[in-house]
Structure formats: C-alpha cells, structure tokens
Amino acid sequence: MSISCQEYELQIEKAQETVKILEERLVSVRSKLDKKPEDAVYRRELKQLTLDMKITMNELEHAQSKLENCLSKNKSSLKKAVT
C-alpha cells in the first residue's frame, strides 16, 4: 500500500475516534437537556456538537472515498506492471 493510501487510513481512524468522542458528548448533553430542556447553554452545545458531527462524518466519507480510489489505482498499477 502506498504512503498516500496510508494517509487516508489515518484520516479515517482519526475521524472514527472523533465520532466516538462526539457521540459520547452528545449523549451527555441530551441527558442534561432532558432534565433542563430550556437551558440555553446545553441547547447551544447541542447545536455545536451536531454541526461538528456532520463535519466529521463528511470528512470520514471523503477519506473513505479517497482511500477506495487510491486502492483501486494501486490495484490497476499492479496489474499493468505484471502484464
């Protein structure tokens, strides 16, 4: 696997770690909002976490797509080298 493909794998790992952290924080904020639904601080935090989650998911999808392209390019390069 080429270095560039490894970079995409690292990006995927980091994004997955970030998703886990954000999910934990979202659960925490949602439970706090259940107790205090009118709390503006928790509402703001929920909005920010939701936005962060969307951004991270987009980054994850992008890195996965780039990795797939990288792997397919490497596969076709190997076939050309063999023939």
CB atoms within 10 A of CB 63: 20
Q: What is the pLDDT of residue 75?
A: 77
Q: Assess whether pLDDT exceeds 70 at residue 58.
A: yes
Q: What is the pLDDT of residue 44?
A: 98
- pLDDT 10s digits, 3-42: 689 999 999 999 999 999 999 999 999 999 999 999 999 9
CA-nearest of 52, 43, 44, 48 to 19 is 52
Residues in the chain: 83
Q: What stretches of the chain show up as alpha helix (H) in DSSP?
A: 3-35, 40-82
% of the chain at pLDDT higher than 90: 81
Q: What pTM does this model have? A: 0.82
Structure letter (DSSP) for residue 38: T
Q: Assess whether pLDDT exceeds 90 at residue 60.
A: yes
Residues 29 and 9 sit within 8 Å (Cβ to Cβ): no
